[in-house]
């Protein structure tokens, strides 16, 4: 079910809370309209401050207001907020321990055709390196609403990241939200998707495609990138055959590298793929165009997961219908080769995590099955 954009839920929730608490103050940098705060300004004009295109000033004002007991939300496009005013975020907010909530809007590639100058695919990596600031990237209306409610009385600096598009409902009515705790969206035995933010929407649709192919994916959404829910990731990993992280962010320094760090330091041997934006000049286009180009369409995510599941030994080819093409000599060779690779991967999975099947075993397995194919 299509719901509202997360930014709409942010502004509605904040307005409702601010009507009951005059200590809630919003500071914006020429972003009252893009931050969906026009109605907030009309109804509570004494609780909003507009500083113009001056992000460094915005952060400094937020710090000052927080120092005198105000509950401050600084709202600005994420691409500029986390670049132009990074020093102020580091020193005036985080180092000084002022519990300001900074809201990065139009994040990721939300600005679409405005191009790389407006894309914000660095923000999570940059802020992850700064001590004493939490990072939350809501995936849907539910997480957004609950995050803003919790942010009101959060006792340390907080960064919240939003895009622009209307969201699907991906949570059920029994789900709960807490900053620092990930959420299980779906449970399956083949492949694990890990997401943060609005890419959860695309993975949700990809999982539906996989389900129709009898491939059962798990999906956990790490709405909080910092502090990260290590326990949830480590709980799910033994139950799946591979992991794919998906983020609307650079591959460098974001969700994927955080997962990789946990996995490697825990001595876990599992196939793993990071899907994000590579270190290159990005294409120009709408947000959907850009995401699709970089393998984040639901269809492409499903195909990558299907390939990963097979190569990890999670999906046997015998589950697929046998056709005339598969029974041809070439088809048979292809099937047996893939069965060999799947078998080897399965052996690796059944071995201790820090060991692997010997090279001689792998070679002999492939040789036997190849000879079988040639003899047909």
**Which CATH number goes with the domain that contains 252?**
3.40.50.920
Q: Is the pLDDT of residue 329 over 80?
A: no
**Statement to judge: residues 191 and 265 lie in one domain:** yes
- Give the C-alpha separation, 342 to 313, whole Å: 4
Q: Which of 258, 278, 311 represents a domain boundary (last residue)? A: 311
Q: In what order do the strands lie in the sheet with 48-50?
A: 48-50, 24-28, 71-77, 101-105, 158-161, 134-136, 224-226
Sequence-ordered strand ranges (E) for 130-207: 134-136, 158-161, 166-168, 183-186, 191-195
pLDDT top residue among 335 and 300: 300
Q: Is the pLDDT of residue 350 over 50?
A: no
- Give the C-alpha separation, 316 to 310, whole Å: 7
φ/ψ of 282, rounded to 5, equals -80, 155
Which residues lie closer than 8 Å to 256 by C-beta, 6 or more apart?
245, 247, 274, 275, 276
- Give the C-alpha separation, 352 to 355, whole Å: 5
**Statement to judge: residues 122 and 212 lie in one domain:** no
**Statement to judge: residues 323 and 295 lie in one domain:** no
Which residue, 321, 369, 322, 320, is CA-closest to 344?
Answer: 369
pLDDT top residue among 127 and 174: 127
**Statement to judge: residues 36 and 114 lie in one domain:** yes
Q: Is the pLDDT of residue 320 over 90?
A: no
The separation between the first and the last C-alpha atoms of the chain, rounded to the nearest angstrom, is: 51
**Statement to judge: residues 193 and 157 lie in one domain:** no
**Statement to judge: residues 159 and 26 lie in one domain:** yes
Residue 367 is predicted with a pLDDT of: 57
Q: Using an 8 Å Cβ cutoff, are 157 and 99 in contact? A: yes
Radius of gyration from C-alpha coordinates of the chain: 24
Instruction: Pick the range with the lowest mean pLDDT from 31-35, 91-95, 133-137, 236-240.
Output: 31-35
Q: Which domain holds residue 366?
A: 317-375
Residue 364 is predicted with a pLDDT of: 55
φ/ψ of 134, rounded to 5, equals -90, 155
Q: Which of 311, 329, 347 represents a domain boundary (last residue)? A: 311
The whole model's pTM is what?
A: 0.83
Residue 177 lies in a domain: no
Residue 175 lies in a domain: no
Residue 365 is predicted with a pLDDT of: 53
Within a 13 Å sphere around the CA of 240, how many CA atoms are in the beta-carbon half?
28
Task: Give how many domains the chain has, as a whole number.
Answer: 3
**Statement to judge: residues 14 and 162 lie in one domain:** yes
For all residues of the chain together, what is the average pLDDT? Answer: 87
Residue 37 is predicted with a pLDDT of: 96
Angle formed at CA 54 by CA 48 and CA 58, multiple of 5 degrees: 45
Which residues lie closer than 8 Å to 51 by C-beta, 6 or more apart?
27, 28, 29, 30, 57, 58, 61
Which residues lie closer than 8 Å to 332 by C-beta, 6 or more apart?
326, 373, 376
- Give the C-alpha separation, 31 to 47, whole Å: 15
Q: Is the pLDDT of residue 107 over 50?
A: yes
Q: Report the pLDDT averaged over residues 345-367.
A: 50
Tell me: cis bond preceding 227? Omega within 30 of 0 counts. yes
Which residues lie closer than 8 Å to 251 by C-beta, 6 or more apart?
257, 274, 275, 276, 277, 278, 279
Residue 345 is predicted with a pLDDT of: 54
**Statement to judge: residues 275 and 328 lie in one domain:** no
Three-state DSSP state, 106: coil
**Statement to judge: residues 109 and 126 lie in one domain:** yes
CATH code, 100 = 3.40.50.970
Residue 356 is predicted with a pLDDT of: 46
**Statement to judge: residues 147 and 234 lie in one domain:** no
Q: Report the pLDDT averaged over residues 286-303.
A: 96
Residue 9 is predicted with a pLDDT of: 96
Residue 310 is predicted with a pLDDT of: 72
Q: Which segments of 106-254 does DSSP mark as H helices, in order? A: 123-128, 141-151, 199-212, 230-236
Confidence class for position 59, pLDDT limits 50, 70, 90: very high
**Statement to judge: residues 28 and 160 lie in one domain:** yes
Q: Report the pLDDT averaged over residues 242-263.
A: 97
Q: Per DSSP, what are the bridge partners of residue 71? A: 24
Residue 176 lies in a domain: no
- Give the C-alpha separation, 184 to 232, whole Å: 9
Confidence class for position 215, pLDDT limits 50, 70, 90: very high
Length of the chain: 376
Q: Is the pLDDT of residue 333 over 70?
A: no
Q: Is the pLDDT of residue 156 over 60?
A: yes
Which residues lie closer than 8 Å to 245 by C-beta, 6 or more apart?
193, 194, 195, 255, 256, 259, 272, 273, 274, 275, 276
Residue 178 lies in a domain: no
Instruction: Pick the range with the lowest mean pLDDT from 31-35, 89-93, 216-220, 361-365.
Output: 361-365
**Statement to judge: residues 45 and 149 lie in one domain:** yes
CA pseudo-torsion sign 281, 285, 286, 288 = negative
Q: Which of 112, 133, 167 represents a domain boundary (last residue)? A: 167
């Amino acid at each position: 079910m299509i719901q509202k954009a997360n930014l709409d839920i942010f502004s509605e929730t904040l307005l409702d809370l601010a009507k009951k608490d005059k200590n809630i103050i919003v500071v914006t940098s020429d972003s009252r309209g893009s931050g969906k705060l026009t109605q907030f300004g009309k109804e509570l004009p004494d609780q909003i401050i507009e500083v113009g295109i001056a992000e460094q000033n915005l952060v400094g004002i937020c710090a000052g207001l927080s120092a005198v007991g105000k509950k401050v939300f600084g709202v600005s496009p994420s691409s500029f907020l986390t670049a132009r005013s990074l020093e102020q975020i580091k020193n005036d907010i985080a180092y000084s321990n002022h519990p300001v909530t900074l809201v990065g809007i139009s994040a990721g590639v939300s600005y679409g055709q405005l191009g790389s100058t407006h894309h914000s695919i660095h923000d999570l990596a940059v802020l992850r390196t700064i001590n004493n600031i939490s990072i939350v990237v809501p995936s849907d209306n539910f997480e957004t609403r609950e995050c803003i409610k919790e942010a009101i009385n959060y006792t340390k600096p907080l960064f919240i990241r939003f895009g622009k598009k209307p969201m699907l409902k991906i949570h059920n009515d029994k789900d709960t939200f807490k900053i620092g705790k990930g959420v299980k969206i779906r449970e399956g035995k083949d492949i694990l998707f890990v997401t943060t933010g609005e890419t959860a929407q695309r993975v949700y649709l990809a999982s539906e495609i996989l389900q129709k192919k009898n491939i059962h994916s798990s999906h956990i959404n790490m709405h909080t990138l910092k502090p990260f829910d290590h326990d949830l990731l480590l709980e799910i990993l033994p139950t799946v055959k591979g992991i794919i992280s998906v983020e609307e962010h650079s591959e460098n320094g974001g969700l994927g590298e955080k997962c990789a760090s946990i996995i490697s330091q825990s001595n876990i041997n599992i196939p793993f793929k990071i899907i994000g934006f590579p270190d290159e000049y990005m294409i120009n286009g709408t947000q959907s165009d850009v995401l699709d180009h970089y393998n984040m369409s639901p269809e492409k995510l499903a195909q990558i997961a299907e390939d990963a599941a097979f190569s990890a030994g999670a999906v046997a080819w015998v589950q697929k219908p046998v056709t005339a093409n598969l029974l041809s000599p070439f088809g048979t060779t292809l099937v047996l080769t893939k069965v060999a690779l799947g078998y080897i991967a399965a052996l690796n999975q059944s071995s201790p995590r820090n060991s692997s099947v010997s090279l001689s075993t792998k070679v002999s397995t492939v040789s036997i099955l190849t000879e079988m194919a040639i003899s047909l």
